[in-house]
A and B are shown apart, each in its own frame.
Chain A
Amino acid sequence: MNYRLTVNGRAAEVDVPGGTPLSDVLRDHLHLRGTKVSCGTGRCGSCTVRLGDRAVASCLLPVALAEAEPVTTVEGLSAPDGPLHPVQEAMVSCHGVQCGACTPGMVMTLSTFLDTTADPDAGQVREALTGNLCRCTGYHTIVDAALTAAAATRTPREDRP
């Protein structure tokens, strides 16, 4: 079957069975390997991408259900040679990254979360992160990054110190 997707603003067409997980399509067909697959059962969140305005586990999403809305992966969050998204920037500056295998999923979950929750507290961030496992950091610096990114997003770039 042919499926027409919009991924990171580009039209893409793939010929795969409709039940193929979106994560496999992204990684193996569209060569977007920033999206990681760590458990394949929707528990770890490494494969999180944005579908429309929602964060979804792309390892559980059949490609046939991904046609209606645009898909954004970590590669589409900021231009490859452009400035980082505030969440990406804060993950670097707050030391929210260690091995990095969870990082793309964390970035996608947090950037989607902050779109609807501009001024969260730490508890809300932790709730939002329960679907994303990290084995390295103990999460504290990732929570710091989310709060830092939220503050930066509320402050226009030119007004930042």
Chain B
Amino acid sequence: MTALSEPAARAVPATGAVGRSIPRPDAEAKVRGAAVYTVDLAEAGMLHAAVLRAELSAARITRLDTSAAAGLPGVHAVVTGADAPALSGMLVVKDQTVFAIDTVRYAGEPIAAVAAETPEQAAAALAAIELELEPLDPVVDLDAAVAPDARLIHPGWADYAAPVDGFRSGNIAWDARLEKGTDEEWSAAFAAAHRVVSDEFRVPRQHQTPLEPHACVARYTTGRYTVHTSTQFPHSVRSRTAELLGIRPSAVRVLVPTVGGGFGGKLDAMLEPMACLLARRSGRPVRLVNSRAEELATAGPRENAVLRLRTAVDAEGRILAQEADVLTDNGANSSGETVICAGLPALALGSTYRIPLARYRTRVVYTNTAPTAAFRGVGGPYVVFAQESHLDHVARALGVDRRELRLRNVLRPGEAMVNGQALDDPILIEALESVERRAPWDRERPATPGKLRGKAVVPLTWLTNPGPGEASVSLSDDGTVLVTTAATEIGTGAIQTGVRQIVAERLGVHVDDVLVSTPDTDAAGFDNGAQGSRTTYGAGNAAGEAAGELREQILRTAADMLEAAETDLEIAGDVVQVAGSPGASVTLAAVSAAAMWSSGPLSATGRFVAQPPEFDAGCVIGGLFSTINATSSHAHAAEVEVDPDTGEVTVLTYVVAQDVGRAINPAMIVGQVNGAVAQGVGYALYEDLRIGPDGRVLDRNLETYRIPTALDVPPIDLEILENPLPTGPYGAKGVAEPPIVPVAAVLACAVSDAIGVTVTDLPLSPFAVLAALRANRR
């Protein structure tokens, strides 16, 4: 492990492109307002669509008549559930239809959609649809939903297709367990424990809030749909749209213009199936864009959850055994990633600390609320918030220093995490030392008069999505290089800088001479999408492999031209030259031309999928993934002040140590850490997508759903740690997700330290802080 400022041991020697903070090449179009996003697209003859959404969260549809709406001026198509009966779901349980059919399961669920010449005509058509609903009692609370007498949200749940069975029933969409240790060991640990500490934590929904909402433009021609859409994962939109329409995936072509943010919220099909149905019915291109109110009320946010932890510890605070009962809210169907992530809480609880014995259970629960989905770090932020707040409670109960308690429990090299998986070269201690150097734990700084001061430090192991992807690289006639991939630039720079730098490095060409196609599922094969910090790692590996093969082709061709041995040749910028003899060279453009009529055009395809690590398969029951891939080590530390009169929390210092494997572009890493910490600050202090007792989302605009502003984000002191991963491109690991995961934990622990009581609910709004202070005084 080395800090970036020091000479680093490189996994693969780099010569030029890798490790440089090049500015992103798409920035100029964005600052000029010239970048074209999906919301900016217009096609000749394009119609405007609008969606009739349920006002109630639970109801039977007793009447739906669209005939008057269909006859209104300018209206070209009206579609309902009768037009799309197929069931689908995000990878696991197939429990979702495009439109509500007979039953409404959440407020905001689509009932019908219209396409008209103008947005005003579309709105008029919605108003003319005759809909009658017979209300049902909404099931909203998680504990109430799993009670034996709860009304079933999907009475036909047993008939839904799922990849394996035995892990769901009634309102429990998925039930995943991780159990380590025998019953005898478990009883003995609790009998021997110096102390057993229990806590219950509650976290709200957090909305991704990309500034570009979900948007698409769909066309239908002779049996195929062409969809331009704002997505992180074009192949997911392709397959899910096809499944929802009951057609084969190759009948859907997905193209992705510039994407105005995703953060996990744009991994799934959402508006595309409705736009496709309307395009087919009308014979015209159809545009459908979410309003901000629709976005907040229906585009799946990070799930709310209840976490109950019970831990047996010895007198020094070493964890002997830990129990967790986690309820996460699936919402009304499994259209998001919440079910596929059911196994994650157990892995997040047991990947940073030594957990000798575990009984972890996570139930993903149906409620009459909008479906939930992935948000950067998926379950990590709330699981780590609960675990860290709980460990601080343990430390306070035992009178053990909170940092020391972590040092006693944190995983060291050679140790396995709770599932028996060996970590990839953990440097958790080094990460803790890095933040210690910059924010010494024993440094006592007086609080501002009248304020309460607190601090916290949190270590973290996090993952990189292992998913598959392919990329092609070809040499163009002018000597530039074109990368063709469905991997998608969503703003992180992973494609615009990361993949381009990896390809340039592998070939030896200038970064400026590497172009990347825009995603088109008709042109590029599968890529697992911009999720789980995987683009630089997964797409970078695939494109890097392709570039390596293209390099061999280029050298073979140039060797004939120069009458030299391939092994004596190198690519240097826009030429191939004999190493040490720059006079003997040919341009890449000439190589391209020479190859054209001899070997044929030069191109290669690379592919990547991470191989699953070994683990103790006996401990995981019903987990849909059982291990975590390409792990990295982190530590965050913060100091806060709390105003006891107003409950306001101010973050004074924020210090991060992040293991990136290898920094392909340090400036982009800084950007990811800054942005992720800001979103974490929002989750910790402000963001609360409130659900009313009737199941409706209360926050439908950015006035009441408050994301951080420029005044809310603390200075961030980051040290990038390079601990190369042998299977990452030039050693790189995932970067974008980890820095959001511990933020709520470290801020909550610091606030708890300041006010002297464990905080159990997020966000730490002034009201919540004042309530905790009052409870403590009593």
**A residues neighboring B (CB under 8 Å):** 27, 32-41, 43-44, 46, 73-75, 78, 80, 84, 87-88, 91-93, 95, 97-104, 107, 125-127, 129-130, 132-143
Docked CA distance A132–B716 (Å): 20
Contact in complex: B24, A139 (CB < 8 Å): no
Chain B nearest CB from A66 CB (Å) reads 18
On whether A41 and B702 interact (CB within 8 A), knowing A33-B40, A101-B210, the answer reads yes
Given contact pairs A74-B33, A100-B258, a sample of 8 additional A-B residue pairs in the complex whose CB atoms are under 8 Å apart: A44-B702, A93-B23, A100-B27, A100-B491, A134-B710, A135-B210, A135-B211, A135-B679
Given contacts A92-B31, A126-B710, A135-B679, contact A39 B490 (CB under 8 A): no
Whether A140 lies near B674 (C-beta < 8 A) is yes
Does the CB pair A92–B710 fall under 8 Å? Answer: no
Rank and list the top 10 A-B pairs by shortest CB-CB distance, nearest first.
A34-B33, A99-B491, A100-B30, A101-B260, A138-B678, A138-B674, A74-B33, A101-B211, A129-B710, A88-B31
User: Quick one: which of B34, B208, B262, B667 contacts A34, CB cutoff 8 A?
Assistant: B34
On chain B, the residues within 8 Å of A43 by CB distance are 701-703
User: Roughly how many angstroms separate A45 CA and B691 CA in the complex, as a whole number?
Assistant: 26
Q: With the chains together, A54 CA to B308 CA distance in Å? A: 53
The listed residue (A38, A87, A97) touching B213 by CB distance below 8 A is A38
Cβ B24 vs Cβ A97 within 8 A: yes
Q: State the main secondary structure of chain B at its contact with A.
A: loop
A140 to B681, CA, bound (A): 14
In the complex, what residues of B have CB within 8 A of residue A91's CB?
27, 31
How many angstroms between the C-alpha atoms of A43 and B21 in the bound complex?
33
For the complex formed, measure the closest distance between the CB of A137 and the CB atoms of chain B, giving whole angstroms: 5
Chain B contacts of A41 at CB under 8 A?
292, 701-703
Q: Are A98 and B493 in contact (CB under 8 A)?
A: yes
Main DSSP-derived SS at the A contact region:
loop
Contacts of A27 in B (CB 8 A): 40
**A101-B37 CB under 8 A given contacts A91-B27, A137-B674:** yes
B33 pairs with A35, CB closer than 8 A:
yes
- Once the chains bind, are B491 and A98 in contact (CB under 8 Å)? yes
Q: Which residue of A lies closest to B678 (CB)?
A: A138
Query: How far apart sit A141 and B23, CA to CA, in the bound complex (Å)?
Result: 12
Complex Cα gap A74–B262 (Å): 23
Chain A residues whose C-beta falls within 8 Å of the C-beta of B677 in the assembled complex: 138
The answer on a CB contact under 8 Å between B674 and A133 is: no
Question: When chains A and B are docked, how far (Å) is the Cα of A33 from the Cα of B713?
Answer: 30
- Asked if B34 and A80 make an inter-chain contact with CB atoms under 8 angstroms apart, the answer reads yes
- Determine whether the beta carbon of A139 is less than 8 Å from that of B678: yes
Is A92 in contact with B28, judged by CB distance below 8 angstroms? yes
Measured between alpha carbons, how far is A91 from B19 in the docked complex, in Å?
A: 21
What residues on B are CB-neighbors of A140 within 8 Å?
Answer: 674, 713, 715-716
Q: A41-B702, A92-B23, A126-B711 are in contact. Are A103 and B678 (CB under 8 A)?
A: no
- Residues of B557-602 whose CB lies within 8 A of A: none
Interface status of B123 (Cβ within 8 A of chain A): no
* Residue among A73, A92, A100, A138 making CB contact with B260, cutoff 8 Å: A100
Within 8 A of A (CB), among B657-700: 667-668, 670-671, 674-679
Q: Closest approach, in angstroms, between the C-beta of A124 and any C-beta of chain B?
A: 11
Evaluate contact between B259 and A99: CB separation under 8 angstroms: yes
- For B37, the closest partner residue in chain A by CB is A101
Interface residues on B, range: 35 or more
CA distance A134 to B212 in the complex (A): 11
Q: Collect the chain B residues with CB atoms within 8 Å of residue A130's CB.
A: 709-711
What are 29 A-B pairs at a CB distance below 8 A? A33-B36, A34-B32, A34-B33, A36-B37, A38-B213, A41-B701, A44-B211, A95-B23, A95-B668, A97-B26, A97-B30, A98-B261, A99-B211, A99-B258, A99-B260, A99-B261, A100-B27, A100-B258, A103-B33, A126-B711, A127-B711, A133-B709, A134-B211, A135-B211, A135-B679, A136-B671, A137-B674, A138-B674, A140-B674
How many whole Å from B774's CB to the nearest CB in chain A?
Answer: 31
Write the chain B residue with the least CB distance to A146.
B710
Does residue B35 face the partner (Cβ distance < 8 Å to A)?
yes
Tell me if B169 is interfacial: C-beta within 8 Å of chain A: no
- Evaluate whether A135 and B209 lie within 8 angstroms (CB atoms) in the complex, with A84-B28, A92-B31, A103-B30 already known: yes
**Which one, B33, B675, B701, contacts A104 given CB within 8 A?**
B33
**Distance (whole angstroms) from the CB of B80 to the closest CB of chain A:** 27
Chain B neighbourhood of A93, CB < 8 A:
23
Contact B671 A137 (CB under 8 A): yes
- CB of B291 within 8 Å of the partner chain: yes
Q: In the complex, how many angstroms separate the beta carbon of B383 from the nearest chain A beta carbon?
A: 23
B707 in the interface, Cβ–Cβ < 8 Å? Answer: yes
Most chain B CB within 10 A, of A39, A93, A102, A127, is at: A39
Q: How far is the CA of A120 from the CA of B172 in the complex (A)?
A: 56
Nearest Cβ on chain B to A2's Cβ, whole angstroms: 19
B492 within 8 A of A: yes
A139 vs chain B, min Cβ distance (A): 4
Say whether B39 faces chain A, with CB atoms less than 8 Å apart.
Answer: yes
A80 nearest CB across to chain B (Å): 7
Chain B residues contacting A46 (CB-CB under 8 Å) are 211
Docked CA distance A84–B711 (Å): 27
Q: Is the CB of B710 within 8 A of A142?
A: yes
Whether B490 and A99, one on each chain, are in contact in the complex, defined by CB atoms closer than 8 angstroms, is yes
Q: Known: A41-B701, A73-B33. Is A101-B212 also a contact (CB below 8 A)?
A: yes
User: Which residues of the other chain, B, contact A129 by a CB distance below 8 angstroms?
Assistant: 709-710
Question: How far apart are the CA atoms of A46 and B39 in the complex, in Å?
Answer: 13
B263 in the interface (beta carbon within 8 A): yes
Is B32 in contact with A88, judged by CB distance below 8 angstroms? yes
Task: Tell me whether B292 and A40 are in contact (CB under 8 A).
Answer: yes
Complex alpha-carbon distance, A107 and B678, angstroms: 21
Q: How far is the CB of B571 from chain A (nearest CB, A)?
A: 28
- Complex contact A138–B716 (CB within 8 A): yes
Q: State A43–B701 Cα separation when bound (angstroms).
A: 9
